[in-house]
Structure 1
Amino acid sequence: MTATPLARSAVLAPYACRPEESRGRLYPEPESLTRTPFQRDRDRIIHCAAFRRLQYKTQVFVYHEGDNFRTRLTHSLEVSQIARSVARVLGLDEDMAESLALAHDLGHTPFGHAGEDALQEVAGAYGGFDHNAQSLRVVTKLEKRYVAFDGLNLTWETLEGLVKHNGPLVGSQAVKKDWLVPGAITEYVARHDLELDTFASAEAQVAALADDVAYNNHDIEDGLRAGLFTLDDLKDVPLVGPVLFEVARDHPGIDRSVQIHETVRRMIGLMIGDMIEETRRRLADFRPKSADDVRRLGQPLVAFSDGMKANDRALKEFLFPNMYRHFLVNRMTSKARRVVKDLFTLLHAEPGCLPPDWRRQCDGAGTPKTARVVADYIAGMTDRFALDEYRRLFDMQEKP
């Protein structure tokens, strides 16, 4: 006989987010007979338009540069696989961890961090732009799918994890000191308190580290395949270098493509294993009895060891100049920033150029409200749509 969704929560650890103890949704809804609240959250995220658009939003490379590079969608799926696997080992709610992994990039602009930096620059005088805050706007306001409410009406736990997956936003434990919480977050929290001064659940912490594991290792793979650096360039990088040596020793003469896959596979395994071991050590030290104990622990429960943190920093220090600031990537990000800035400047000054549904939300040219509408419009674009819209607005030979 198949167990009901809530019956399966009996296998969860005491410090896990338990679906039957959820704090609920901003707009009350009848519970599902076949799915837990966290399973419904996951399904709503998968079916929303913003999730589909991730297919044509890129991490480092623009969509037309090759079909084999990661997109925001493939990255989110890879993060969800890692998060779900780790959550299972630690006795956490897998559906909650998966929901957060799938939703964590919903607020990203086209063209990766280049697009976000450009939008933050041009929208700075009107409240700025932050992709985490934008993710919250997407799931609480911008998605239009239901009769009774805007957004997806996700559970308190999922919204909390989405906003605080990197740690508290305010108070003595805040992960960013002297940082103003984005208006999109403070506006929502005024209606639905997400307790910004505490840590998020263990499930959210797992999703955050799964993100690190996925993008570090997969950026190595994409960078190698793009020819931005070579295997020899990696031989002195901590963690990567020793793994490369072991693969070459164990499989001499192996095909280069398989060598890359095997190296990345082993590195992911090492990072996940370290995360699990360090988290188990902290569980033994702190002995949290509930999800709220995790939130009020005063430090992360899910973490890398100090040694793996050092490896992670070294890997980022290699990728920054050799990939993210490679001259070929710089050329494309320069174009991407120009596209985003020009789109914002034109549409903010001339909101009559916006599609009717967006234009109706504006209150005139150059106003703060119009700036917010234009930022939402641009942030929702895929790489492809942004380039097409740029041509439509600036190329006299293009049809509007």
Structure 2
Amino acid sequence: MTSTLAPFACDPTRSRGRLHPEPPAGARSDFQRDRDRIIHCNAFRRLKYKTQVFVYHEGEHYRTRLTHSLEVSQVARAICRMIGLNEDLAEALALAHDLGHTPFGHAGEFALQDCLAEYDGFDHNAQSLRIVTKLERRYAEFDGLNLTWETLEGLVKHNGPLVGRPDSKPLPKAIVEYSEGQDLELHTYASAEAQVAALSDDIAYNAHDIEDGLRAGLFRIDDLLALPLVGPIFREVMARYPGIDEHRLIYESFRRIITVMVDDLVAETSRRIAEARPERPEDVRLLGRPLVAFSDEIVAHDRALKAFLFPNMYRHFRVNRMTSKAKRVVKDLFALFVAEPNLMPPDWQLPCDGPRGRKTARQVADYIAGMTDRFALDEHTRLFDPSVKP
């Protein structure tokens, strides 16, 4: 396989290794092993009942974090195959990128950020790192999954360098603490595979959030026809298949939208490769700008699409109501557990340092962040409804 890789792709035989050295895994490469560990971990299974926009009980056909991660993985593998990058590393990153998300999507994350403002804060990327390096407890010799350096680097840096840029934000404590023991080179870009995984995420959620919004009745196809990229493709499908039913129209249109975005990314990235001529993965990291990118035209279309989705979907009054309820559930649970940590299961009480202590707050955040939508709602009912048995 490695003979087909581009010279700047990440080669598993040249990996920087794991924090805790392990013997080879036979026929599996190190990146395949990372992918398998991610798929088998508890946090990955919980993504089944963690939502993107809609809470799980609102319908079985809306995207969850699990289905979204699988879709991102499929897109990332396809792009890597076209460019000559390592598909296994990109797949591992795509499958792991949402592990740190809270219940109730971004509503839960915003609520935990508010709750932890006086402590060490909350960041879903940092939480993903905590999960794969500390919170998963499956192996006899170490905590976490003991993933390769390349996978950990891509997990925290897939959106670019974390330090040294004018727009750099204060680093989450979890990332700072981990990097002190294993330097993830936070001042550089991540590998090309990580950059592919990040933009595959954009491709997947742009297309599928619109599909879910149409399914939920938050807006209509007619509302999309004036949008760049989306509108022309819908019109093309309607002209080619007169009288097509709405379900088929939506699917036919969105598979074309995904194809256009993938083809554009491959073309723009190929142009940048020809210009930069990277010869090693390190050349990608030190390039000073992303190697993997969309064209300016698709970037503009993406902005227009997000500008439409923000008021018409993410801030739709029905979504606002769900968001409000979700925030209350998370904040109620946090306030109660921080004040009374002995209400958590025994294993979660052990590292606590008393009511409202700093260690207690972090332990409570880990406990809540790991919850599914369903478990969080049930836990809230058990603890706040006097008529329900605890």
For normalisation by structure 1, the TM-score amounts to: 0.97
Aligned to 1:50: 43
Give the structure 1 partner of residue 207 of structure 2.
217
SS at 1:301 equivalent: coil
Give the Å deviation of 1:360: 1.2
Partner Cα distance (1:368, 1:310) in 2: 43
Deviation at 1:357, TM superposition (A): 0.4
Alignment partner, residue 110 of structure 2: 117
Q: Within the alignment, does 1:205 sit opposite 2:205 as a pair?
A: no
Aligned equivalent of 1:3: none
Could you list the per-position Cα deviations for residues 282-317 of structure 1 after superposition, in whole angstroms to 9, with x for gaps in the alignment? 001000001000000000000000000000111011
**Which residue number corresponds to residue 309 of structure 2?**
319
1:243 aligns to what? 233
Instruction: Establish whether residue 297 from structure 1 lines up as the match of residue 290 from structure 2.
Output: no
Q: What is the aligned residue count?
A: 390
- State how far apart, in whole Å, the 2-side matches of 1:125 and 1:88 are: 45
**Rounded Cα–Cα distance in structure 2 between residues aligned with 1:388 and 1:356:** 19
- Give the SS at the match of 2:143: coil
CA deviation after TM superposition for structure 1 residue 367, in Å: 0.6
Aligned AA for 2:208? H
Q: Deviation of residue 109 (structure 1)?
A: 0.0
Partner residue of 2:382?
392
- Identify which of 366, 369, 379 aligns with 1:376: 366
Could you tell me which runs of 5 or more consecutive residues in structure 2 were left unpaired when the two chains were aligned. Answer: none
Name the counterpart of 2:170: 180
3-state SS of the aligned residue for 1:124? coil
1:10 and 1:148 mapped to 2: Cα distance? Answer: 34
Instruction: Measure, in 2, the Cα distance between the counterparts of 1:363 and 1:210.
Output: 41
Residues 1:98 and 2:88 are matched in the alignment = no
Distance 2:193 2:202 in 1: 15
Letter of the aligned partner of 2:31 in structure 1?
F
Indicate whether 1:283 and 2:273 are aligned: yes
Following TM superposition, the consecutive aligned residue runs of length 4 or more in structure 1 with deviations greater than 2 angstroms are none
Structure 2 distance, partners of 1:237, 1:117, is 29
What pairs up with 1:356-371 in 2 under 5 angstroms?
356-371=346-361
Equivalent position amino acid for 1:11 in 2: T
Stretches of structure 1 lacking an aligned partner (at least 5 in a row): 1-7
State the secondary structure of the residue aligned to 1:126: coil
Q: Using the aligned pairs only, state the percent identity.
A: 69
Deviation string 1:11-43 (CA, Å, 9 cap, x unpaired) is 110010000110000000001111000000000
Equivalent position of 2:7 in the other structure: 14
Matched, 1:27 2:17: no
| SS, match of residue 199 in structure 2 | helix
Provide the rounded CA distance (Å) in 2 between the counterparts of 1:56 and 1:89.
33
1:191 aligns with 2:181: yes
Cα deviation for residue 363 of structure 1 reads: 1.1
Aligned AA (2:248): V
SS class of match (1:289): coil
Aligned equivalents of 1:197 and 1:330: distance in 2? 37
Q: Deviations over 1:343-392 (max 9, x none)?
A: 00010011011110001121100011100000000000000000000011
Specify the alignment match of 2:145 in structure 1: 152
Matched, 1:164 2:157: yes
Q: Distance in 1 between matches of 2:73 and 2:27?
A: 22
Which of 124, 132, 150 is residue 131 of structure 1 equivalent to?
A: 124
Q: How many Å separate the matches in 1 of 2:191 and 2:388?
A: 50
**1:45 offset after TM fit, Å?**
0.1
User: Partner residue of 1:38?
Assistant: 31
Letter in 2 for 1:168: P
Structure 2 Cα separation of the partners of residues 34 and 56 of structure 1: 33
> Distance in 1 between the 2:389 and 2:170 partners?
42
Measure the CA separation in 2 of the matches of 1:238 and 1:127: 41
The partner residue of 1:231 within 213, 221, 229 is: 221
Please show how residues 239-278 of structure 1 align to structure 2 within 5 Å: 239-278=229-268
Confirm whether residue 77 of structure 1 aligns to residue 67 of structure 2: no
- Secondary structure of 2:181's partner? coil
How many Å apart are 1:198 and its aligned residue?
A: 0.1
- Which amino acid in the other structure matches residue 258 of structure 1? R
| 1:77-124 superposed Cα distances (whole Å, 9 cap, x missing partner) | 000000001001110000000000000000000000000000000111
